Amino acid sequence: MCHILVIGAGITGITSAYELIKMGYQVTVIDQHLYPAMETSFANGGQLSACNAEVWNQKATVLKGLKWMSQKTAPLLLNPAFDLHKYAWLVEFLGNIKHYEANTRDTVKMALLARKRLFAIAEQEQLEFNLEKRGILHFYHSKQDYEVAMRVNDLLCTGGLERHAVTVDEIKTIEPSLTGQYYAGFYCPSDATGDIHKFSVGLAKACKKYGVRYLFGMQVSDIQPHAQGVKVVYHASPENMQQDVNSLQDLQVDAVLVCGGVGSYHLAQRLGDRVNVYPVKGYSITVNLHDAQSQQNAPWVSLLDESAKIVTSRLGQDRLRVAGTAEFNGYNRDIRADRIQPLIDWVNRNFQLCTESVIPWAGLRPMMPNMMPVVARGKRERIFYNTGHGHLGWTLSAATAVMISQQIGRQHPI
Ligand SMILES: Cc1cc2nc3c(=O)[nH]c(=O)nc-3n(C[C@H](O)[C@H](O)[C@H](O)COP(=O)(O)OP(=O)(O)OC[C@H]3O[C@@H](n4cnc5c(N)ncnc54)[C@H](O)[C@@H]3O)c2cc1C
């Protein structure tokens, strides 16, 4: 039987492992962490958001970004220190402005397919992950921002999305807990939210039941494709206290699927492939809703404040996830207090709920300069990629997992 090694146990790796084991492959998943979904798939914004499928390669977004660079609490932060990878990425990002419309439309289509597949998997495997099918509400604070958004909405709708304009009164009817001042908005009733970490852990368990084998706490250090297969060399990661980090082990497989998040860049480099994923850092807070009043006053409908670039997801009765910020600062994973505070302030400004207990988190979005995931074979015939999902990995992964598994199926039949 054909044996596939999946590198990475985040949302892209676990959904891929699921599709592959269901097709009849022998599947092993390797990850440097001791458990699934411990990196970017740990505490993201929670939105399954076809409505957020717009790619960022647009002149207006670039101009806004430049304006934000001078503001300390702005949603975008660029460390100007020279770094070749970062600046090469930014140049490539600008070069993709010409593909803005086509890539946005393709992302919508992929997101709609993904949503359908993710709901089906969740139902089939009986996964509990605080799924809320209450739609996503975008709101704007100025006429100018709203008028730009109307053009974006037309584009999203050409991709097949059901999303309509709403007035201030309708905003407050859809989500009565909102207490701020707004100009107008858009509502996408078919979008949803859920806890990516709970989903990934639940699906990883289901995969194990179907026969997927895991190598947790193991870091891949080399991948050597050869005529009959691929030799993968790995060692215990520093957090693996049970094994010697200096002793190398290896595994022979028929093909490798790289789902390494921000680690995919270096893994691809070793294989002679260019997968130009850059780590775009974001932050989230999880507000613990301990008291009855906070539980009542926290939103259930998922929100996207387009001026602040902040999203929310209600994760069950007693948690509210709030996320935002795009920071270009390399692989730095520090949780900065001055980036967390604007998220807390935003909650205090928009809702009457207690922010005494808040869990901060930071993660690195694996982002391609054209904002499109890499779902393809590499230069070598036994190497595949499903990575680079940027700000939409939770939204898109169920579709890209099917796409890459089908490609593997065509090239390496079971
Ligand atoms: C603040 C924030 C908010 C977000 N909000 C949303 C949202 O609302 N909706 C949405 O759709 N998306 C959102 N995203 C994006 C989404 O979370 C990511 O796109 C997604 O989690 C990426 O999944 P992944 O599997 O590619 O990467 P990861 O989850 O990072 O998994 C990659 C795995 O590969 C492993 N790995 C890498 N290299 C090696 C190696 N050499 N050896 C062994 N293991 C290795 C890592 O340990 C890691 O576990 C958000 C992201 C952030 C940061």
Q: Note the pLDDT tens digit of each residue in 77-110.
A: 888 899 999 999 999 999 999 999 999 999 999 9
- How high is the pLDDT of residue 259? 99
Q: Which atom of ligand 1 is nearest to the CA of 387?
A: 26
| Site to substitute for ligand 1 among 283, 391, 395, 397, most atoms within 8 A of C-beta | 391
On average, the pLDDT of the chain sits at 96
Percent of the chain with pLDDT over 90: 91
> How far is the centre of ligand 1, averaged over its atoms, from the C-alpha of 297 (Å)?
31
> How far is the centre of ligand 1, averaged over its atoms, from the C-alpha of 138 (Å)?
24
> How far is the centre of ligand 1, averaged over its atoms, from the C-alpha of 303 (Å)?
21
Q: Note the pLDDT tens digit of each residue in 381-412.
A: 999 999 999 999 999 999 999 999 999 999 99
Kindly indicate the confidence band of residue 60, based on its pLDDT and cuts at 50, 70 and 90: confident
Taking 80 as the threshold, does the pLDDT of residue 72 lie above it? no
Selection from 391, 291, 335, 405 nearest residue 57 by Cα: 391
Give 228's contacts (C-beta < 8 A, 6+ positions apart).
Answer: none
DSSP string, 149-182: HHHHHHHHHHTT---EEE-HHHHHHH-TT--S--
DSSP string, 35-46: SSS-STTSS---
Q: Does ligand 1 lie within 6 Å of residue 13's CB atom?
A: yes
The answer to whether the CB of 33 falls within 8 A of the CB of 9 is yes
Q: Does ligand 1 lie within 6 Å of residue 394's CB atom?
A: yes
> How far is the centre of ligand 1, averaged over its atoms, from the C-alpha of 189 (Å)?
26
Q: Does ligand 1 lie within 6 Å of residue 41's CB atom?
A: yes
| Torsion sign, CA atoms 10, 114, 305, 311 | negative
Distance CA 32, CA 218 (A): 4
Q: Which of 13-17, 47-51, 81-85, 276-280 has the lowest mean pLDDT?
A: 81-85
For the full predicted model, state whether its pTM sits above 0.95: yes
Q: Which atom of ligand 1 is nearest to the CA of 313?
A: 8
Q: Does ligand 1 lie within 6 Å of residue 40's CB atom?
A: yes
Percent of the chain with pLDDT over 70: 100
> Strand runs (DSSP E) across 37-191, as ranges?
47-48, 76-78, 136-140, 164-166, 184-188
Q: What is the CA radius of gyration of the chain?
A: 21
- How high is the pLDDT of residue 66? 85
Strands 383-387 and 255-258, sheet pairing: parallel
Distance CA 215, CA 257 (A): 15
Q: Does ligand 1 lie within 6 Å of residue 10's CB atom?
A: yes
Q: What are phi and psi of 232, to 5 degrees?
A: -115, 125
| Site to substitute for ligand 1 among 39, 56, 237, 271, most atoms within 8 A of C-beta | 39
> How far is the centre of ligand 1, averaged over its atoms, from the C-alpha of 171 (Å)?
32
> How far is the centre of ligand 1, averaged over its atoms, from the C-alpha of 3 (Å)?
24
Q: Does ligand 1 lie within 6 Å of residue 259's CB atom?
A: yes
Query: Considering only CA atoms, which residue is closest to atom 27 of ligand 1?
Result: 261
